[in-house]
Structure 1
């Protein structure tokens, strides 16, 4: 076994020396050829080609490095795009149910203008009732920016959705009240007429030209519980200038801003 290993090592060593000797012979041959005048132009051309090839290899190496940098940058951009896509998908799947309305929050209610209310200067008084549009003002929903600006002590554990749910219910009460207010008396049922008279009694000099409701209207037209959380949300709505209070005759009137 030891003899075989020694023989193998000796053969490898001989092969190595033979390769070195072959390289030396080639170098001597090339040196001798270089002394021959007829080969010098060819060798000079080869030298120039080698220089050009070396420069080209340097350029290729620089381009490879640049491409590697671009590849790393594209990986980062891809990761960022994937994160943005996930966030966008999350937002799409969790759109808040209460978003601010894109236009002014008002409801139009057609009312009837009686023949006797037409001006005497009109040459042809209308025999049929003329429809007139009345506008009911509603409170705008709270935006996310406004919600974030609400002081923590005022907000507590109240959520964005809970606030806008109350806004919607207040608007429901406003619409319910003023649809009755704009309705002709003779078309009202007895219970509706009683509501109408209560609405009129609650009017004051401070409420002329504005839209307001009282707690009785909230109970009449909505299912809201007028509990501690409701009054906390009203405080937030006053802070966000959605409602303001007008007090008098033992009533708190919530005026829509």
Structure 2
């Protein structure tokens, strides 16, 4: 029974009770001039008593319905507050699912401070997958020792992650192109990339400081070194030294 039907039922019962009471008043008035009609009065009182019982049951049902509605309202308000809290505290950087080894190149969803890459005609192949570092979660950031974080914030650390990902992407896009499709400047970059590869880097994605300067606006200063320490601590990359070059290999 919904709320409207309950209200209608209460109104009908109330109207019926009023009619019964009016009938009793008329019978009492008539009993003064006519013979007492005790039997009819008894029947009317019995019917009125049943109506009052039904009326009380309807009132109880309405009271229970009102309680349920209040409980529902409280539950709705709590859910609304939870949703508002989640909406106001969504991290600026969200972890992305790992792409399969034979999948396409991940799409950069975060805006990064990256210099444009020389435009070339790129032929899509099955080797177009380029690995990216996953962003740092809030729990991971909080687990980094305070002395290591310094003044670097959560958002700043993940902005660095996105910039490093952009450098990796720009570098390996060039490596995946044919030499004939490159201009002289990009050919020199490609040759430099090839010269920096070793047996240890085979099958891995890495960048060096020159790549970071080439493809991003990040400065290889003391703050940058601190960020690299945090990323190593969070197992996002590792260092591989050799030939006077430090290679930052994605884990």
Per the TM superposition, whether the score is higher than 0.5 is: yes
Indicate if the aligned counterparts of 1:237 and 1:243 stay in contact, CA closer than 8 A.
yes
CA distance in structure 1 between the partners assigned to 2:247 and 2:104 by the alignment = 20
TM-score, with length taken from structure 2: 0.63
Quickly say closer, same or farther: Cα 1:185–1:148, change in 2 above 3 A.
closer
Specify the alignment match of 1:67 in structure 2.
65
- Aligned CA-pair RMSD: 3.6
Distance 1:254 1:235 in 2: 11
Structure 2's unaligned 5+ residue stretches are: 1-27, 107-119
Q: Aligned pair in 2 of structure 1 residues 175, 86: CA closer, same or farther (>3 Å)?
A: closer
The structure-2 alpha-carbon separation of the partners of 1:85 and 1:221, relative to structure 1 and needing over 3 Å to count, comes to closer
In 1, the alpha carbon distance for the partners of 2:87 and 2:188 equals 52
Deviations 1:108-146 (A, max 9, x none): 99878xxxxxxxxxxxxxxxxxx7543342324315455
Taking the aligned partners of 1:188 and 1:72, their CA distance within structure 2 comes to 70
1:141 equivalent to 2:139? Answer no
- Structure (1/2) with the larger strand percentage: 1
Instruction: State how 1:140-159 maps to structure 2 within 5 Å.
Output: 140-142=133-135, 144=137, 146-147=139-140, 150-153=143-146, 154-159=148-153
In the aligned structure 1, how far is the partner of 2:188 from the partner of 2:162? 25
Q: Does 1:218 align with 2:212?
A: yes
Alpha-carbon spacing, 1:159–1:141, altered in 2? closer, same or farther (3 Å): farther
Unaligned runs of 5+ in 1: 1-29, 113-130
Counterpart of 1:174 in structure 2 is 168
Shift of the 58–180 alpha-carbon distance from structure 1 to 2, 3 Å rule, reads closer
The CA distance in 2 between the partners of 1:53 and 1:172, in whole Å, is 80
Structure with greater Cα Rg: 1
CA deviation vs aligned residue, 1:169-197 (integer Å, no higher than 9, x gap): 11222223223333444554444343333
Residues in 2 aligned to 1:227 and 1:59: alpha-carbon distance in whole angstroms = 79
Displacement of 1:88: 6.4
Structure with more of its chain in helix, by fraction: 1
Instruction: Answer whether contact 2:141 2:154 (CA < 8 A) is retained.
Output: no
Aligned in 2, Cα 1:157/1:62: closer, same or farther, shift over 3 Å? farther
Aligned pairs, number:
202
Q: Kindly state the Cα deviation for residue 43 of structure 1 after the two structures are TM-superposed.
A: 3.4
Q: Secondary structure of 2:240's match?
A: strand
Distance in 2, matches of 1:106 and 1:159, equals 32
* Cα distance change on mapping 1:65 and 1:186 into 2, 3 Å: closer
Confirm or deny: 8 A CA contact 1:111 1:134 kept in the other structure. Answer: no
2:132/2:168 contact within 8 Å kept: no
Distance 1:193 1:222 in 2: 19
